[in-house]
Amino acid sequence: MERLLFAYDEIFLKHDTGMHPENYNRLIAINSWVAKSALNEQIDVITPRKAEKVDILRIHDEKYIDSAVQRIENGEVALDIDTSVSKESAEAAYFAAGAGLTCADKIIAGDFKRAFCSVRPPGHHAERTHSMGFCIFNNVAITAKYLQQVHGIDKILILDWDVHHGNGTEHSFYTDPSVMYISLHQYPFYPGTGAKTDTGVGAGLNYNLNFPMNAGSGNHEYFTAFNERILPEIRRYNPDFILISAGFDAHQFDPLASINLNSEAFGEFTKMILSVAEHAEGRIISFLEGGYNLEVLGESVLFHIEILINDQY
């Protein structure tokens, strides 16, 4: 049984998006489920540090960073058609990016093996030069670069099971064989990227793997993709560290998509990933991405973190 790092801070509640599906009640729902679970005794809640600008610059263009912060400080209420913001949103975004870095430091130091970052705004749609899809900074991509450039980790796997394709993460590493990006997502669907034929270019060819799922797909289709394609690819790659873009919006009751997973499926995904995590020594950092039905979000997260705590690789 492992103790789990749980990165959270109230600054994430102050990213006020108003009447928007990505709102602070998501984290309140998760906190409620965790608090009433027996797993709470195996969880160490930590306050993440604020990322430095240099950390963000590993993924994002400086003009974009400065512009986004300035627009938020000027009182704009949206950075794009999808991404609502308030006066605390830039601060929240810096801390959301810092959560992965804080967890990375502690895991590399040997204090923990696994972490869950209960953060917002989410990140996997954020591109180098612009916000997108509720995301300001790409939290998981920033952590991947930090692990490589600060801690000397050679090969990183980013697994993204959010129902929407992580265009920003894909584009961050499309030519880079040192980061394998694997995504399962409803397709065709927002944001329109993530075709099966998009497999990377140059040195990154075949290190970007998309598994488009038809609307109506459920546990069986996802488990088949994992067992027949994804797990063999991960074994072949043998990553030194695993990062998960853990969206929970592929749930059958989520209002923003048409995939039919149940809550238990997210625990099964986690168990399967741990079964191929030997070379990574079981080291995993998971980042909250989507999930917009408050009644099932906390339950789904709990199935995920239960396996992170209880399963051995």
As given in the structure block, the two tokens for residue 254 are 């989520």
- In whole angstroms, what is the distance from residue 98 CA to residue 119 CA? 10
Set 15, 60, 125, 130: catalytic member: 125
CB atoms within 10 A of CB 117: 31
Phi-psi region of 202 (alpha: psi -120 to 50; beta: other; left: phi over 0): left
DSSP 3-state of 106: helix
> Beta strands 43-46 and 284-288: pairing type?
unpaired
- Do 131 and 302 meet the contact criterion of CB atoms below 8 Å apart? no
Is there a catalytic annotation at residue 125? yes
**Residue carrying the six token digits 């409620």:** 32
Which DSSP helix (H) or strand (E) runs through 123? Answer: none
Q: Would you call the peptide bond into 191 cis, given omega within 30 degrees of 0 as the criterion?
A: yes
- In whole angstroms, what is the distance from residue 241 CA to residue 180 CA? 11
* Catalytic machinery residues: 125
